[in-house]
């Protein structure tokens, strides 16, 4: 019996790259991990090991739909294409775009278009605005960028919009090089026009921007308390919740570690894998709360930086703000409190992989606030958190 082909769910950036590879937008790049190429696929070691017999891996979307098969050298064989999502009809391949719009001037757009830019573009004749909406690329959300580009197209004579999932690598020179390559593949010899600097946003475009990027004090918010067991993070999070509810004006949801364990993550163990799954579940729910303008208050231990970063990315992708509070009470003080007797059991070896004893806690270097509750009242320690939130413009609690 042959071994089933393993599956891998690519990262958002890898999914964007896959779509461009299979559409021909990255020519002459035709696969992942080609020599000198920044278009990479980082398969986990366990997936590579599972692909030993077949030599291939099935790439699936977040819903589990098989999109392509990739061999261990990075060569891609498409199975289907992404079929769902807002404005999917605008995601054309270069060949499809040329079929509809050959002979036009092609204009890459990564930010909202200003009135000055629109006046200049009117001189360029029939246009195609290429909305660059890949992971990390747009100034707005993907949907916001496309809506703002469509609003600008309405102000131009005979302008079309094509969406291009061109992801950012975080390197300006590399992003520029790939951007030029992709735009040239879409234009296929037709004129390409860049956008000049300056100008104000037209009312129709500004309305989209205002909806997509509300003021900080109206934005969905995730306040994420992390720290050792006994550090005071849950007590501090509850005091923060109480203060928010007393003031009113925002919907608030608590995602406390122990409560989540009973309801959202029942059945998970305390192994490293299951603990990280628990944090990602918390992060996903918190991100959805922030997507709808609410405030989510989370207080898990969350000992590993990689998983905290994954939560931060989920919240950012949902359009929310992520505010990390490191409750940095020292281990000695946490052990002294030990109200549940957990540290004593861990010292006796009765609890394996216990954070701070037999499993590490990676202190965050990107916390917005760091607070030690040793010898302080909860109200005093909470003052540090509230001050940080006020300074960031998210909340103004007294």
Place 322 in a pLDDT band, splitting at 50, 70 and 90. Answer: very high
pLDDT over 60 at 91, yes or no: yes
Mean model confidence pLDDT for the chain: 92
pLDDT over 90 at 273, yes or no: no
pLDDT of the residue at 398: 60
Instruction: Tell me what the mean pLDDT of segment 226-232 comes to.
Output: 94
Instruction: Tell me what the mean pLDDT of segment 147-155 comes to.
Output: 97
Same fold, 7-78 and 97-212: no
Give me the residue spans of the domains in the chain.
7-78, 97-212, 216-392
159 vs 104: CA distance, rounded Å:
9
162 touches 90 (CB < 8 A) = yes
Instruction: Tell me what the mean pLDDT of segment 217-224 comes to.
Output: 94
pLDDT of the residue at 339: 79
Tokens of 67: 């999109």
pLDDT of the residue at 53: 82
pLDDT over 80 at 285, yes or no: yes
Of 1.10.760.10, 3.30.1360.20, 3.10.400.10, 3.30.390.30, the CATH number of 7-78 is 3.10.400.10
CATH class of 97-212: alpha beta
pLDDT over 50 at 29, yes or no: yes
CATH class of 216-392: alpha beta
Instruction: Tell me what the mean pLDDT of segment 375-389 comes to.
Output: 95
259 vs 280: CA distance, rounded Å:
15
H/E element holding 41? Answer: none
pTM greater than 0.95: no
Instruction: Tell me what the mean pLDDT of segment 301-306 comes to.
Output: 93
Q: Long-range contacts made by residues 377-380, C-beta under 8 angstroms, separation at least 24?
A: 378/232, 378/235, 378/236, 378/239, 379/239
Q: Which of 98-107, 245-254, 264-273, 310-319 has the lowest mean pLDDT?
A: 264-273
């Amino acid at each position: 019996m042959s071994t089933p082909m393993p599956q891998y769910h690519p990262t958002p950036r890898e999914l964007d790259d896959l779509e461009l590879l299979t559409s021909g937008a990255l020519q002459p790049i035709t696969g992942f991990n080609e020599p000198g190429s920044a278009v990479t696929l980082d398969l986990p070691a366990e997936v590579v090991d599972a692909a030993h017999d077949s030599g291939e891996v099935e790439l699936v979307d977040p819903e589990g739909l098989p999109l392509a098969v990739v061999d261990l050298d990075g060569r891609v064989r498409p199975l289907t294409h992404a079929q769902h999502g807002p404005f999917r009809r605008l995601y054309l391949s270069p060949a499809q775009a040329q079929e509809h719009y050959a002979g036009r001037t092609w204009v890459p757009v990564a930010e909202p278009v200003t009135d000055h830019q629109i006046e200049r573009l009117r001189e360029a004749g029939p246009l195609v605005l290429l909305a660059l909406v890949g992971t990390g690329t747009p100034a707005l959300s993907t949907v916001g960028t496309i809506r703002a580009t469509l609003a600008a197209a309405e102000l131009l004579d005979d302008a079309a919009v094509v969406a291009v999932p061109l992801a950012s690598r975080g390197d300006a020179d590399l992003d520029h090089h790939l951007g030029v390559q992709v735009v040239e593949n879409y234009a296929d010899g037709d004129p390409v026009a860049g956008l000049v600097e300056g100008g104000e946003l037209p009312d129709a475009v500004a309305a989209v921007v205002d909806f997509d990027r509300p003021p900080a004090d109206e934005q969905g918010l995730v306040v994420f308390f992390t720290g050792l067991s006994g550090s005071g993070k849950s007590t501090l999070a509850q005091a923060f919740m109480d203060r928010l509810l007393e003031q009113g004006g925002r919907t608030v949801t608590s995602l406390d570690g122990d409560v989540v364990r009973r309801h959202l993550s029942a059945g998970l163990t305390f192994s490293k894998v299951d603990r990280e799954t628990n944090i990602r579940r918390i992060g996903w729910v918190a991100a959805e709360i922030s997507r709808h303008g609410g405030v989510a208050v989370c207080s898990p231990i969350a000992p590993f930086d990689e998983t905290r970063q994954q939560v931060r990315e989920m919240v950012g992708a949902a359009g929310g703000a992520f505010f990390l509070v490191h409750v940095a009470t020292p281990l000695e003080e946490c052990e002294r409190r030990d109200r549940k007797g957990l540290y004593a059991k861990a010292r006796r070896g009765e609890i394996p992989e216990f954070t701070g004893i037999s499993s590490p806690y990676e202190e965050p270097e990107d916390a917005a606030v760091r607070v030690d509750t040793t010898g302080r009242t909860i109200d005093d320690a909470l003052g540090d958190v509230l001050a940080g939130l006020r300074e960031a413009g998210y909340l103004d609690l007294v």
